[in-house]
Amino acid sequence: MGKSGGILSVWDKSRFQILDSLITDRFILIEGKYAPHDLSFSVMNVYAPCEVSEQVIVWSAIVEVRRKNKNRWFMVGDFNAIRSNSERSGCSYRQTEIVEFNSFIEACNLFDMPLSGRKFSWFGPGNRKSRLDRIFVKDEWFNENSDESCIEIIKKTLQHEKEGDVDLNVKLRRVKGALQKWNLQNY
């Protein structure tokens, strides 16, 4: 849907065993076991609509799924919404839109991972900017499954981006390369 053509979720079958999934037009939920620790995880990939009336429907569906699911939770995607006016420039959002999105996050009981480096994740015509892409985690997931040096590698790599570089593929390749090097050195 939209310019992207859809949602893509990728995982390493040797590390993550899928036990169940839920696929809709706006999100993919994959539930399974993370092999190294034999822990149950739920990973959701979201591509939200731009219209607030449609977002509210998606938010409600996600909250319902989240309430039924007791796994460690990781949610990522393009949410097409902001949490505060400081997350936009040249774009107009109504306060009710911001309230709706914050209520959704609160209902999911998730932590919004901060951006490293840039303030915005979307850049449009006319110097319009917003933070629309996000990563949310249940705090226990983050605490149990993050090697601090790995996080530092990701932060350092993203902080050294070129100012004009907004191509997600380039960013992901840089992070992947840095993580591969880190992995070989540490494991």
Q: What is the CATH number of the domain that holds 63?
A: 3.60.10.10
Domain that holds residue 87: 16-144
Residue 59 belongs to a domain:
yes
Which tens digits make up the pLDDT trace of 89-108?
A: 877 778 888 888 889 999 99
Judge whether 110 lies within some domain. yes
pLDDT given for residue 143 in this prediction: 58
Q: What's the average model confidence in pLDDT over 59-83?
A: 89
What is the residue type of 9?
A: S
In this prediction, residue 3 carries a pLDDT of 63
Classify residue 10: in a domain, yes or no: no
Q: Is 6 a domain residue?
A: no
Secondary element (H or E) of residue 38: none
Encoded amino acid at 65, one letter = V
Same domain membership, residue 133 and residue 67: yes
- Ramachandran angles phi, psi of 76, nearest 5°: -140, 150
75 and 140 inside one domain: yes
Evaluate if residue 142 carries a pLDDT over 60: no
User: Number of structural domains, the chain?
Assistant: 2
Residue-level pLDDT at 57: 94
Residues 104 and 168 in one domain: no
- Residue 9's pLDDT is 85
